[in-house]
Amino acid sequence: MKKRKNSIIMFRLIKLVKPLALTMLIAIIMGVFGHLAASFITIFAGLGILSVLNQSQSLTMLFMGMILCALIRGFLRYAEQSCNHYIAFKLLALIRDEVFGALRKLAPSKLDGKDKGDLIAVITSDIELLEVFYAHTISPIVIAICYSIFMIWFIGRIHPFLGLCALLVYLCIGACLPLIISSLNKDNGLKFRMLSGELSGFLLEAIRGLNETIQYHMGEKFVKKMNQKNEELFEVDRSMKKTTGFCTALSNALIWGFNLIMFISAFVLFQKGQISFEGMLLACLSLMSSFGPVSALASLGSTLQNTMAAGNRVLDILDETPIIEEVTDGKEIKFESIECEHVDFSYQSELILKDCSLHVEKESIIGISGKSGCGKSTLLKLLMRFYDPSQGEVKISNESLKGINSSCLRNTESFMMQDTHLFYGSIFENLRIAKWDASYEEVEEACKKASIHEFVMNLPHGYDTMVAELGESLSGGERQRISLARAFLHQAPLLLLDEPTSNLDSLNEAVILKSLDEERKGKTVILVSHRESTMKIADQVYEMSDLCAPMDRVS
């Protein structure tokens, strides 16, 4: 994780407000006048006391002024908060959209091996925490500055020294105190967000593996590990809460202390005849009623660390550079052939493919076999351009994959992986992922080819039957056939099938192989399988060891 300075994070997050700058300006204006209205309730009360003592002003007018300020304060406070929260939730939606877009570009190469629970924590709780920044940080800072400038001028009119005292008070509470509290928190905010993400990932893994945990009596070990992670998170949270409590106590103590200093200063000036009793009273009341905006800034020192840490984690995703860039200005091709030319590929430092070459002509079925871990699935991922080879080149119709538009490449290829992911939704919706505008008849035809139609029709609601999360309500073979139906529905000229019959019985395997053989016109199929029976429909079968140069170590 890249650690950024809080100032850089704030600048990056503030830039996102640009489309809603007018709404933010309105919120700031209403916030300034709202706080002024609140302060003048107290000031009018002080004038009321003076009017009783001097019998110089109408109490009725002052009372009406207090009521008017109270009404204005209530309305402007509501309007300010509405604008700020509109900005916050609108921006959260935009940020989530950007993060999902970034994840789509990073997948699958940059997301392989990533902690999914941690990613979920970033998308949900980390982005949610930014609401504090947009609703309770940006405009309050500007409001506090504008409001403090006015109050310094107002108090300074009574006496310049009192205005200087007010300036020092606002700087101390609104600027120095948040910085001190922030330094006390150190990196606790970032540590808290990271530990929270780790805990989310651990819980997600524990829930998915609940059956295995029960089967092998590992429950106590998982609970112990979870408690350990909870304790680590609790310790960091307790440290942050302790700092927050100290901040609140210190802030309140400083406010009382500065009020006393202002009173003593004003009283001394009154004794020297430099200000009137009215000036002394108004100066003290003005300061006492003006701590709202700067007090809000004082609390930011403890809350903003957590928010900045969340922003840092979100920026990590947005700044991540994808291994494979989307191609939008490339060529549109028509499938004629596919070939690998002397391809090398490594996962990090581990060599998987060495000098691999393969040529496949149009409308042929090619089988690829080999022992586990020899690179069969990796070869298919290279053909899909999930990764780029470190050496050599992969071509379709004599055109490098790097020069073909990504949308064209996806339309040209259908890829059935070993692990089938099913989304929470109906079977019909899960199938139409391959072709979102597919008709019911097209979906049904694809399922017949994959030998899954009769099974679906026997379900309580047919194609409208809901699938549980991750497809857990279906068996491995049923999920595999749905995945194959997706590949048929996509209607791409090139089919890449990774162990398409591994979880099927002989009868269903025969039906699927017959469908593949019957639909081979206009189709090219690259078939990876361990089963000899599956390879019987292939025009030619290659061993991975024959396609690649020998290596000392292959994983």
Percent helix / strand / coil, the chain, rounded to 5 = 65, 10, 25
CA 256 centroid distance within chain:
42
DSSP for residue 331: B
CA 293 centroid distance within chain:
31
Structure-block tokens of residue 516: 């593949």
Report how far residue 90's alpha carbon sits from residue 135's, in angstroms, rounded to the nearest whole number: 11
- The H or E element that residue 527 is part of is strand 524-528
Structure-block tokens of residue 308: 């900045």
The model scores a pTM over 0.75: no
Q: 331 forms bridges with which residues in the sheet? A: 404
Domains of the chain and CATH, by start? 88-319 (1.20.1560.10), 337-547 (3.40.50.300)
Q: Provide the pLDDT for residue 124.
A: 83
- The H or E element that residue 392 is part of is strand 391-396
Q: Provide the pLDDT for residue 369.
A: 92
Longest pairwise C-alpha distance within the chain: 109
Residues 6 or more apart in contact with residue 278 via CB below 8 angstroms: 50
Report how far residue 251's alpha carbon sits from residue 245's, in angstroms, rounded to the nearest whole number: 10
Report how far residue 136's alpha carbon sits from residue 83's, in angstroms, rounded to the nearest whole number: 11
Report how far residue 311's alpha carbon sits from residue 169's, in angstroms, rounded to the nearest whole number: 31
Q: Provide the pLDDT for residue 72.
A: 93
Q: Provide the pLDDT for residue 471.
A: 67
The string of DSSP codes covering 293-311 is: HHHHHHHHHHHHHHHHHHH
Place of tokens 């008070």: 169
Q: Provide the pLDDT for residue 504.
A: 79
Q: 389 preceded by cis ω (within 30°)? A: no
Q: Provide the pLDDT for residue 555.
A: 36
Alpha helix (H) ranges present in 137-218? 138-158, 160-171, 177-185, 188-208, 210-215
Do the Cβ atoms of 99 and 122 come closer than 8 Å?
yes
Mean pLDDT, consecutive 10-residue stretches, the chain (555 aa), reads: 75 85 91 92 85 70 88 92 89 88 83 75 83 83 92 93 92 85 74 81 79 80 87 86 82 90 92 89 90 83 75 86 88 92 88 92 92 88 91 94 92 87 88 91 91 90 84 80 90 91 81 80 89 88 89 50
Q: How many residues does the chain have?
A: 555
Q: Provide the pLDDT for residue 1.
A: 61
